[in-house]
Amino acid sequence: MPIRVLVVDDSAFMRKLIMEIINAQPDLEVAGYARNGEDALRKLDRLEVDVVTLDVEMPIMDGLETLKRIMSDKPRPVVMLSSRTRKGSETTIQALSLGAVDFVSKPVGSIAPELDSIADELVDKIRCAAMAQLPQKAKAPTAVKKRPVTTFPPLPEGAASKIVIIGSSTGGPKAIEEVFAHIPENLPAGIVVVQHMPKDFTRSFAERLNSIFPFPVKEAQTGDVVENGKVLIAPGDYHLVITPERRVELNQEDRVMFLRPAIDVTMESLPEVYGKNIIGVILTGMGRDGARGMAKIKNAGGLTIAQDRATSTIYSMPKAVADEGNADYILPLDKIGGVITELISVLK
């Protein structure tokens, strides 16, 4: 059976283009289209729909409000269509936090050849979304969750002697918020996050995390020091490695498995710097990025955590780690932050 897609966009031109892209695929078909959020909710009542493509900016009921209603009342995997403007990226990050599976950023302008360039990405993400596992009811926003009570002595200044490296892809932004909700603000380790995301969006992702958690979060820049109690987010379109001085170094070397940033690149740079004082974490995502890096961390004596199948939006990256025997812990998402906090005390 083909994957049935509801296309939601207020632009007739965009609807036509998206529907042509979908209908050109033998395994996809357009179930219907909607001009705005209210229209989309009515269509979801009447149509069999596997995946929704949802424009961020629409009149009457915008993409965020529509997404909230879908996730609350009619859960379906949703792929957002976002502009590359600053406002568009901020709204898209909110959408991922609310439960959208993924997003596609529209090129600037509406010239057909430019828009055709997103076709492969769009169909790949629709296929991936169709495999996504969704919670049946939206959870309370992360920002109001109770903070962990674990406390540590005042943090020493300077470069951290321990590091937590978290890799994630599809479903990752929401998962990372859940992990951070269980990590205390004075964790005696630096945290680096490699989330597969384009360069226009990683800064907005970092700023959102910084706004809702008590510890500092920023998009990484070359020269940044990995410090205790601070989080660095790998910027889109750059690989991130950690130097012997425990500083960030960014590069645009070849993509790894079509990815930049690649989780493996960052993880593989860590054992020579931190030895066994590493906690590696792989969260939800498609593919196997991070599997090689987690093996290197484990072989160096570090500790490794993979998200479990039941709580992963896409159980592919964590599965690769688990299947190869390189996960010391396989945990549900809401336990990962707490276990990271406990394990930091074990590392010497």
Catalytic sites, residue numbers: 169, 196, 289
Query: Which stretches does DSSP call E strand in the chain?
Result: 3-8, 28-34, 51-55, 78-82, 102-105, 163-168, 190-195, 217-219, 231-233, 239-242, 248-251, 278-282, 303-307, 329-331
Instruction: Indicate the SS3 state at residue 145.
Output: coil
> Six-digit token pair at 302?
């570090």
Q: Which residues does 254 contact at the CB level (< 8 Å), separation at least 6? A: none
SS3 percent helix, strand, coil of the chain, rounded to 5, is 35, 20, 40
The sheet with strand 102-105 has its strands ordered as 28-34, 3-8, 51-55, 78-82, 102-105
Q: Is the peptide bond before 141 cis (omega within 30 degrees of 0)?
A: no
Rounded distance, CA 326 to CA 292, Å?
9
The first and second tokens of residue 274, run together, are 């931190």
Neighbours of 135 (CB within 10 A): 12
State how far the Cα of 308 lies from the Cα of 91, in Å rounded to an integer: 29
220 contacts 248 by C-beta, under 8 angstroms: yes
Find the DSSP H helices in 55-167: 63-73, 86-98, 112-116, 119-130
State the angle between helix axes of 63-73 and 86-98 in degrees (0 to 180), rounded to the nearest 10: 10
